C-alpha cells in the first residue's frame, strides 16, 4: 500500500480534529479526500506529509513510518498545500532549480525544463513568481511537488484559482500522473472529483463518513429514487401522492413532475397504472441521478 492510516487521532488541546481514522490507498489510485471546512482534511494531509505528528495511531507512506522514518517519507511524497508557499522574488526556473537541488534531483536542468513544459509554464518561465497570476502560481506549486518524481502526490485544493481552460489541462495532468503514482487530493469542487477520482473518502467531524469507489457512491448512499415523469395532461398531485410507494411529488413545470420513492420500491408500474386509470399518458420517464454534491450534503449534514 502506498498510504496506510491506522486508528489515527489528532488533538489540538481538547479539540479532536481526527477521531480514530483508518484507510489505505494503493498505487495508481486517485482518491478524492472530501469534507466540510474543519472536518480534518488538511490535518490528515499534513500528518501524511510529516508536517504534523498524530496524537495516536500509525501512518506509513510506501512502508515508511511518518514519525520514525520521516526523511524517507518526504522523499516519497510530493505535496501541494492549500496555501501554496512560494518565494515570490525568485524567477520560475530559478525556484524549480532551487527545489530540485534540495531533493538532489539528477540532471536538474533537463528535469526543470520537463516540468515547465508539463505544467504549461513555457511563456512564464523567465518571469518572477510575484508577477504571475494565482493560476500560474498553482502550476508552479504542482511542478515543485512532482519535480523529484515522488511515488505519492498529496494535493490540497490543486485547482484553486484556475480558469476553465487551465482546469481542463491540470485535471488531465493529474489523471496522467495517477496512472503511475498514488494521488490524494482535497477539493470543494464536486465536478472535479467526478472528473478525476476513482475513489472518494468523505470525512465529517474528524470521522470517515464514507469510503467508496466513485461509480458506486452515489447509488449506495441514496435512500430514495427520483423519477422525472412527463404526462400528456396535468395531474392532480394529491392523487399521485396516494399511489403506493410514492413518498413525494414535485411539479417541475408544464406537465413534468418529480416523483420520489424509497430505493426499495420501484413505482414505475404504479405510476403508469395511475396514468391509465386517470385517462392520462406517460410521455417520458427517467431516473434522476443523485449527484456527488447531494451525497456530500447528506453525509455531512449540510442540507
Residues 9-27 pLDDT 10s: 999 998 999 999 999 999 8
pLDDT value for 179: 84
Give CA angle at 121 (120, 126), nearest 5°.
Answer: 165
Residues 97-108 have a mean pLDDT of 96
Domain 3-219 class? alpha beta
Query: 224: which residues sit within 8 A by CB, 6+ positions away?
Result: 247, 260, 261, 262, 263
Residues 77-96 pLDDT 10s: 999 998 888 999 999 999 99
3-class DSSP assignment, residue 34:
strand
Residues 155-179 pLDDT 10s: 998 887 778 887 888 888 888 888 8
pLDDT value for 263: 65
**Fold assignment, 221-300:** Alpha-Beta Plaits (3.30.70)
Asked if residue 236 has pLDDT above 60, the reply is yes
pTM strictly above 0.95: no
* The residue to which cell 416523483 is assigned: 259
- CATH 3.40.50.300 maps onto the chain at 3-219
pLDDT value for 303: 46
What's the Rg (C-alpha) of the chain?
24
Name beta bridge partners: 10: 18
pLDDT value for 221: 60
Per 3-state DSSP, the chain is made up of helix, strand and coil in percentages (nearest 5) of 35, 30, 35
Asked if residue 142 has pLDDT above 70, the reply is yes
The Cα-based distances of 41 to 22, 79, 101, 273, 283 in angstroms read 13, 14, 30, 49, 46
- CATH 3.30.70.1560 maps onto the chain at 221-300
Asked if residue 245 has pLDDT above 80, the reply is yes
Amino acid at each position: 500500500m502506498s498510504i496506510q492510516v491506522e486508528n489515527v487521532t489528532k488533538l489540538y488541546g481538547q479539540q479532536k480534529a481526527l477521531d480514530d481514522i483508518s484507510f489505505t490507498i494503493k498505487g495508481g489510485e486517485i482518491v478524492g479526500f472530501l469534507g466540510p471546512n474543519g472536518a480534518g482534511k488538511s490535518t490528515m494531509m499534513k500528518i501524511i506529509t510529516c508536517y504534523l505528528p498524530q496524537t495516536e495511531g500509525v501512518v506509513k507512506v510506501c512502508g515508511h513510518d511518518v514519525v520514525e522514518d520521516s526523511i524517507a517519507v518526504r522523499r516519497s511524497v510530493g505535496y501541494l498545500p492549500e496555501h501554496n508557499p512560494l518565494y515570490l522574488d525568485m524567477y520560475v526556473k530559478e525556484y524549480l532549480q532551487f527545489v530540485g537541488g534540495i531533493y538532489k534531483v539528477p540532471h536538474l536542468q533537463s528535469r526543470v525544463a520537463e516540468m515547465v513544459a508539463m505544467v504549461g509554464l513555457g511563456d512564464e518561465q523567465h518571469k518572477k513568481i510575484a508577477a504571475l497570476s494565482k493560476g500560474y502560481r498553482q502550476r508552479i506549486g504542482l511542478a515543485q511537488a512532482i519535480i523529484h518524481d515522488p511515488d505519492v502526490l498529496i494535493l490540497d485544493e490543486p485547482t484553486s484559482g484556475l480558469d476553465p481552460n487551465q482546469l481542463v489541462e491540470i485535471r488531465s495532468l493529474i489523471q496522467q500522473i495517477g496512472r503511475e503514482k498514488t494521488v490524494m487530493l482535497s477539493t470543494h469542487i464536486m465536478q472535479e472529483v467526478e472528473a478525476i477520482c476513482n475513489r472518494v473518502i468523505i470525512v465529517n467531524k474528524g470521522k470517515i463518513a464514507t469510503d467508496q469507489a466513485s461509480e458506486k457512491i452515489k447509488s449506495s448512499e441514496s435512500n430514495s429514487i427520483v423519477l422525472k415523469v412527463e404526462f400528456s395532461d396535468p395531474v392532480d398531485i394529491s392523487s399521485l401522492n396516494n399511489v403506493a410507494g410514492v413518498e413525494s411529488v414535485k411539479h417541475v413545470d408544464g406537465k413534468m413532475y418529480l416523483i420520489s420513492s424509497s430505493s426499495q420500491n420501484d413505482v414505475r408500474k404504479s405510476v403508469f397504472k395511475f396514468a391509465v386509470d386517470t385517462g392520462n399518458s406517460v410521455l417520458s420517464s427517467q431516473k434522476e441521478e443523485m449527484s456527488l454534491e447531494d451525497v456530500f450534503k447528506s453525509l455531512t449534514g449540510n442540507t
